[in-house]
Amino acid sequence: MGKNVTQKILETHLVEGKLEQGKEIAIRIDQTLTQDATGTMAYLQFEAMGVPNVKTELSVSYIDHNTIQVGFENADDHRYLQSIAAKYGIYLSRAGNGICHQVHLERFGKPTKTLLGSDSHTPTAGGLGMIAIGAGGLDVAVAMAGEPFYLTCPKVIKINLKGKLNPWVSAKDVVLTVLEIFTTKGNVGCVFEYGGEGVTTLSVPERATITNMGAECGVTTSVFPSDEITRQFLAAQGRETDWVELKADPDAEYDKVVDINLSELVPLAAVPHSPGNIKTVTELAGTAVNQVCIGSCTNSSYKDLMIVSKILKGKKVHPSVSFVISPGSKQVIENLARDGALADLYSAGARITEPVCGFCIGNSQSPQTDAVSIRTSNRNFFGRSGTKTANLYLTSPQTAAAAVITGKFTDPRDLEMEYPFVEMPQKFYTDDSMIIAPSKTPGQVEVYRGPNIAELPSNLPMPSEISGIVTIKVGDKITTDHIIPAGARMKYRSNVPKYSEFVFEIVDESFSKRATKIRDAGQYNIIVAGLSYGQGSSREHAALCPMFLGVKAVIAKSFERIHSANLINFGIIPLTFKTETDYDQIDSGDKLQIVNLRQAVSNNESLTVKNVTKQTEFQLNYHLSERQRDIILAGGMLTYIKNK
């Protein structure tokens, strides 16, 4: 039997286990990436391991999230990151060089390699033929220390692309179609592998848009083959020697095959407040638009912004629209400038930011009250923009540009103009001067620590039983943004005691105070949740801060992969209801006892929970490998590693 692309990469990187679906395997990690919102904590954890230097082929630290210097915190953390990179053998991409996923695609990604990143959109590099996986910062720190990465051997779903995209229909519409088919839940433990003749019609940036938003489906990663299109992109980047052909065997088998005819797709939009709520742009036509934001790691490539510039050339931003563009990288800006497109964008009335995450994570460009904001980013969660009452819609750059001109939702096919096809350059202008190589004398580097860097919190081993209070009960599709806010609050990322004050702020502002009171009284906090708990960002603070507040267990109907792994890494046990209707029998404030916990987990036995308040009992499941059970019992990954 032939092999698919996913199997070929995993097989050549397999360290432990067998490629049997549902079984835990360990793979060697070739490359890692971090960004400043997650990287500060990842490097604090790396330091705690006492490893003298990184053991990967390549590790890159990007500064792209919190580049706005309001207060000293971000600037101090950036200096910490620069000193850490110099000392431990890590490349540093400075603030202003670009968004990690765009820059990694341009300058570092290599077909057939593995990449682990402390950002949930790390699968962007799957557009180059990499197995690129998002994870918590602690998992990345462990990989930098030379340890393998553990994951469940995935199912592989082939998305068979046929035909060719029509004018005004884009790669964003492809992945929104994928989200319409698969939704944002129920895809844990799967890989989306793209194939079919339609693949050859898509450029690498278009493929990267598709793999980027596969994260919203909850899959482990998404991957394209590495073919002649890949070679041409790497050659244009001056990196043709990094190219390796990689394709599925003709008789490769898949767990499922889903056909998508590119020729039949139409412009789509994700409507509030989930990337999985899909409508056609035609259905939304005429809706007034207050803000348009083009950019983010999903749609900020040279090709994306060249198309936008051509649509807007000679036109002006509608008076009712606030219009901002965040290019993906310094390279994108420089190439737009050299080709005249930057002048066209400025002339149209665009506001151009530095190449950062910016509006996508809500730390700038928050829209007006009750705004309709069209964005080309990947998430439209409630409150993510920084304005709770705003309604965010996710679209392609083409649809976004149409709204810039008309001031309302407009199917771009209805614009009275010829579609501006853009060819990929045969050669990009490249300049890596904002990427700093590690120090050649690391022993002389002193690590800088600003006053916002607090001591790394520790955790105690799992107790024999948990007696605690249901401090909060939440519903389905709770994201990491609900648990720990992004935006301006991220400046406290290296100060867990301070950041913990904002846990569940968007849901219940009193949570942190209640949890602290319960913790200080010697009891544990328990979170109860519905389906797909922990969607969204890989932000491990969504587990680390609850751990600091004394949360010892989360009981949910189901979990998303990265967040479940983060909970385990910080000694919080993720538990699921054996009978989902038991969820309805628990209320916030109930006292629960999980008896014989340590013994049961040690022996992989089922758990019984007593609801002391209601005098009832119910059963819980957990899905932990032997290694994960040992991590939970130790109180988290760092203690587990030290014990080893």
If phi > 0 it is left, if psi is from -120 to 50 it is alpha, else beta; for residue 314 that is: left
Residue in this structure with the two tokens 């039983």, named with its chain if needed: 465
Delineate the domains of the chain, giving CATH numbers in brackets.
Answer: 5-264 (3.30.499.10), 268-414 (3.30.499.10), 466-643 (3.20.19.10)
Find the helix or strand (DSSP H, E) in which 222 lies.
Answer: strand 221-223
Q: What is the pLDDT of residue 628?
A: 95
Q: Which residues contact 97 (CB under 8 A, 6 or more apart)?
A: 62, 63, 64, 103, 329, 330, 355, 434, 435
Residue of 467, 171, 212 whose CA lies nearest to 304: 171
Residue in this structure with the two tokens 């569940």, named with its chain if needed: 504
C-alpha separations of 555 from 439, 526, 579, 611 in Å: 46, 8, 12, 13
- Two tokens, residue 35: 């960004």
- Two tokens, residue 432: 């890596």
Q: What is the pLDDT of residue 384?
A: 84
The verdict on whether omega for the bond into residue 273 sits within 30 degrees of 0, i.e. cis, is: yes
Give yes or no for a contact between 107 and 242, defined as CB atoms under 8 angstroms apart.
Answer: no
Q: What is the pLDDT of residue 177?
A: 98
- Two tokens, residue 518: 């319960």
Count of alpha carbons within 13 angstroms of residue 638, beta-carbon side: 21
Burial of 209 from C-beta contacts in 10 A (0-12 / 13-18 / 19+): buried
Residue 619: what are its φ and ψ, rounded to 5°? Answer: -105, 145
Give yes or no for a contact between 199 and 296, defined as CB atoms under 8 angstroms apart.
Answer: no
Q: How many CB atoms lie within 10 A of CB 322?
A: 18
Q: What is the pLDDT of residue 320?
A: 96
What is the rounded CA–CA span in Å between residue 254 and residue 303? Answer: 32
Tell me which residues of the chain have a pLDDT lower than 70: 69
What is the rounded CA–CA span in Å between residue 506 and residue 482? Answer: 6
Give yes or no for a contact between 550 and 525, defined as CB atoms under 8 angstroms apart.
Answer: yes
Find the helix or strand (DSSP H, E) in which 295 lies.
Answer: strand 291-295
Q: What is the pLDDT of residue 249?
A: 97
| Bridge partners, residue 133, by sequence | 116
- pTM, full prediction: 0.91
Q: pLDDT, tens digit, for every residue of 557-599?
A: 999 988 999 999 999 999 999 999 999 999 999 999 998 899 9
Residue of 185, 180, 395 whose CA lies nearest to 276: 180
Q: What is the pLDDT of residue 31?
A: 98
What is the rounded CA–CA span in Å between residue 44 and residue 80? Answer: 10
What is the rounded CA–CA span in Å between residue 334 and residue 448? Answer: 32
Q: Which residues contact 244 (CB under 8 A, 6 or more apart)?
A: 110, 111, 112, 129, 226
What is the rounded CA–CA span in Å between residue 89 and residue 442? Answer: 8
Q: What is the 3-state secondary structure (H, E, C) of 360-397?
A: HHCCCCCCCCCCEEEECCCCCCCCCCCCCCCEEEECCH
In 47-76, which positions are buried (b, 16+ CB within 10 angstroms) versus exposed (e)?
eebebeebebebbbbbbbbbbbeeeebbbb
What is the rounded CA–CA span in Å between residue 68 and residue 49? Answer: 31
Q: What is the pLDDT of residue 68?
A: 80
Residue in this structure with the two tokens 């490769």, named with its chain if needed: 252
